[in-house]
Amino acid sequence: MFPVEVVACLGDEYLKAAPVEALKSWVTYSRQLLADDFRQNCYRVDTHYRPSGTLMVIRELLRIACGEAAIKLMPDRNELRFTSQSNWSGDLGSKLFPVRTEDCERIALPVSINCYSNRLGGGNNGIVDLCINRAFLSADPSSAGLGRVMVSGDSFGRDIARTLSLITQEVLFVCTPFLHVELVDAMKPDVVFAQNAERYLSGVSSDEDRPVFLPYPFFKQNEYIVEAEMAQALSAVLSYGRPPYEAFLKKCIANLSDFMPAPAPHPDHQRISGSLRIGGQPQALSGH
């Protein structure tokens, strides 16, 4: 009879087997945090988190990677806008007969955020999303929240990256179980988050075995065309420190006139971002 008692958790077993003890302090395994208020944080008909769950995980990531003060960067739920959908079956309810549904909600991003995607279908690995928050481009560069962030992971990481765009100048999400150092070297982000869902860990090998990221869509002969706007934005973000990147930022700033003035920087932004920006190198690696 369900639910049954939890006997063992895969995440705990993998943490125990970590080859370097010091690495454990950089990992957040948020199972218990989410379980404490399961229905508030998780859906009945879908494996992914509700916005409340995603916000909780992000605050834990910020605490571990950047310190307690960084948690204040993330707005509270009552400061956000949401869109909703009724009779949503999710990735679990749609597999049942009869189909089970519930209402779902999604954080509505402000118009100051430009979102790009390669819109890859037919699989997960190889998906690329890029969000540019123009509100931070118009502010003092030292007050740009978390600055420039890269997230690698699966659909959970994709939700995390999208939500992080609220407090970052730019966030790049790449769907992959590996940390691709070639992308880190090209983007030179301030912060890197690497994420894997617990149930996928048995199929994840060492990062040393990773393929080069960009050919991912073609490994399964997945034919698709990337829109020119996305290709140009991705090329620019992966050209940090060179003229194409600077030209792209100027173009983004030039388009600021189509939305309301940027909000005043959070009083904690300058101190936090200052602690992260050291020679343009990523200062934190975390995951869950």
Cα separation, 101 vs 44, whole angstroms = 8
DSSP 76-141: PGGGS-EEEEEEE-HHHHTTSSSPP-EEEEEEPPPTTEEEEE----SSSTT-EEEEEEHHHHTS-G
Reduced to 3 states, what is the DSSP secondary structure of residue 190?
coil
Structure tokens at 78: 């009552």
- pLDDT per residue over 148-169, tens digit each? 999 999 999 999 999 999 999 9
How is residue 261 annotated by DSSP?
P
What local confidence, expressed as pLDDT, does residue 187 receive?
A: 98
In the chain, count H helices and then E strands: 12, 8
Query: Taking a C-beta distance cutoff of 8 angstroms, is the pair 120, 155 a contact?
Result: no
Structure tokens at 45: 């008909």
First to last CA, the chain: 30
Parallel/antiparallel/unpaired status of strands 148-153 and 170-175: parallel
- pLDDT per residue over 32-49, tens digit each? 888 888 889 999 999 999
The answer, yes or no, to whether the previous bond of 3 is cis (omega within 30 of 0) is: yes
How is residue 192 annotated by DSSP?
E
**Can you give the pTM of this predicted structure?**
0.86
What local confidence, expressed as pLDDT, does residue 13 receive?
A: 86
In percent, the amount of the chain with pLDDT more than 90 equals 59
Reduced to 3 states, what is the DSSP secondary structure of residue 226?
coil
Query: Taking a C-beta distance cutoff of 8 angstroms, is the pair 103, 84 a contact?
Result: yes
The answer, yes or no, to whether the previous bond of 243 is cis (omega within 30 of 0) is: no
Cα separation, 152 vs 174, whole angstroms = 5
Q: Using the predicted structure, report yes or no on whether residue 138 has a pLDDT greater than 80.
A: no
- pLDDT per residue over 69-106, tens digit each? 889 999 999 999 999 999 999 999 999 999 999 999 99
- pLDDT per residue over 211-259, tens digit each? 999 999 888 887 788 999 999 999 999 999 999 999 999 999 887 655 4
Domain assignments of the chain as residue spans, ordered by start: 10-286
Q: How confident is the model at residue 202 (pLDDT cuts 50, 70, 90)?
A: confident
Mean pLDDT of all residues belonging to the chain: 85
What local confidence, expressed as pLDDT, does residue 265 receive?
A: 42
Query: Taking a C-beta distance cutoff of 8 angstroms, is the pair 31, 9 a contact?
Result: yes
Structure tokens at 247: 């030209």
